[in-house]
Amino acid sequence: VPTDTPAPAQQTSSTTRVYSPRLRTALVLSGTGTAGAYHAGVLRALHEAGVKIDVTAGRGIGVVGASLAAIDGAQDLWGSTGLWQGSRTAHLYQWRPVLRLTARVLGLALTVLLLPLAAVVVGALASFVAYLLRVSAVPSDAITTAVDQVIEWALSPGAVLTWLPLVVAPALLLLFALQLGAFGVVWLRARRHRRIHGALWSTLLGSPIDAEAAQDWFVDGLWKLMRGGASVAQPDVKDLGQRYVELLSENLGQPGFRDLLITVHDLDGQRDLAFALLSEPYRGLFFGGETGSGPVNRSLEALDLAGEPGHCGFDACVAALSLPALTESRLVSFASSGSWRGETHRLCDRPDGVGRLLDEVARAGVEQVIFVSALPPPTGPHGLGSGRQDGRGRIGETLSASESAAERSGIASRTPLFQAVFEIRPQHNPLGPFDFRGCYDERSDRHQTLAELVERGYEDGRVQFVEPIIGASGEAIESGQTRS
């Protein structure tokens, strides 16, 4: 039950405090946006400590870390040339390009319209200065005359009718062309998969935040890992997904390769979907269930990447980077022979879907969980700070609050499903989900960057899990062997 008291630095909720490498262990990564940088740091700490992980699971940006860690590629997250160390992260989850261009064009048109008024204001100030100079016996007739001439020219009908249409009219035409082009792109993309309907203005405006840059960034990073040093052209997303599934399925059980489980939300099916690639015997147990048309239909919600759904599995991974209502959902076409009969659905993340993710992790035969989140524990009294005034910052605050409450509720209610649940989270994280360029930290009175969040994840992974949990477990094992 959530309380208002500050949580301790080590957030551990478990039926036993002793970590056992003999138990089937899942690393669960949950978060949105910049939380992936924290995941990368924690993965580095666990990798260096040699922590045994059998299943990587994720939702939201956690799908990025889970997908790479499943094929022994977690080093490409935190390395010097890794995903979270490059300059491309600064351009993730920005306002949609058409909205930014529209704002600039409108600003230009408004500036031009206000130029006559600005000329009057400047002229009044200049006249006042000239008056002061005249009172001070300083010659100012030339200044007064020049100002009067400028104002007379700026406000003359001939000048206004000449330069105003030359600037405002092209700006408005450019704005109309941008909106028309944006509508055409959205309409054509959607028509290739399914029909759309709705008001024209809603189609023109669309969702405010762009997720395509984040999706392309993820796809490029995964392909860079898979191709290694070979100079091979990057395939399309469908082909890349098939290659990824083949690589993982052929190497399950090998060192560094792990079972994969992700969850996304189906807006059209109004249910969460779990995509998984599991080793035996857990695969049969996970995908078994009712196949009827009742309220519980396992075949509609649990999709096996090793089977027919594998061709759209990577699309689902990419769809996890889409945010509900804030970005365009990703259109994913299911196999015609599958449970969804070839339909095309809109998939996205569900920020409060942590509980469902843990349910699926338990169904995959997991006995102990390492849960990683970039959200700090809730504060108690006297923990208030200044609210964000920028648009994406305010949206990020709402997302973080919703995710934090969902995580506490989900973990508290699902802990009995496992023998142990270990949490790794920062005590303080000033970066919101969309602060990829860093932000000002009020508590430390300085600017904090994304690279610092990666390092914070690394430190927390060592201090909160590797040293107290792995170290204590090693001592317990050693003492048990001594007694025997």
Q: What is the DSSP string of 135-164?
A: HTT---HHHHHHHHHHHHHHHSHHHHHHHH
Write the CB contacts of 357 (distance below 8 Å, at least 6 apart in sequence): 28, 30, 57, 58, 59, 261, 263, 410
Provide the domain limits for residue 47. 12-96+212-483
Is there a single domain that holds both residue 49 and residue 182? Answer: no
The CA angle 177-178-180, to the nearest 5 degrees, is 65
Task: Select from 173, 205, 237 the last residue of a domain.
Answer: 205
Cα–chain-centroid distance for residue 112? 38
Q: What digits encode the pLDDT tens for the residues 9-47?
A: 444 444 445 788 999 999 999 999 999 999 999 999 999
- DSSP letter for 60, please: E
Q: What digits encode the pLDDT tens for the residues 274-284?
A: 999 999 999 99
Does the residue 7 lie in any domain? no
Is there a single domain that holds both residue 216 and residue 250? Answer: yes
What percent of the residues of the chain are helix, what percent strand, and what percent coil, each to the nearest 5? 50, 15, 35
d(CA 428, CA 253): 37
Is there a single domain that holds both residue 341 and residue 403? Answer: yes
Helices (H), 288-390: 298-301, 313-319, 354-363
Cα–chain-centroid distance for residue 254? 30
Does the residue 2 lie in any domain? no
| Confidence bin at 238 (pLDDT 50/70/90) | confident
- The residue with greater pLDDT, 194 or 71, is 71
- The residue with greater pLDDT, 205 or 344, is 344
Q: What digits encode the pLDDT tens for the residues 153-186?
A: 655 666 555 666 666 667 667 777 776 776 666 6
Write the CB contacts of 447 (distance below 8 Å, at least 6 apart in sequence): 438, 439, 440, 441
Task: Select from 182, 205, 228 the last residue of a domain.
Answer: 205
Is there a single domain that holds both residue 280 and residue 414? Answer: yes
| Cβ 335 vs Cβ 312: under 8 Å | yes
Is there a single domain that holds both residue 396 and residue 474? Answer: yes
Across the chain, mean pLDDT equals: 83
The number of folded domains in the chain is 2
Is there a single domain that holds both residue 451 and residue 335? Answer: yes
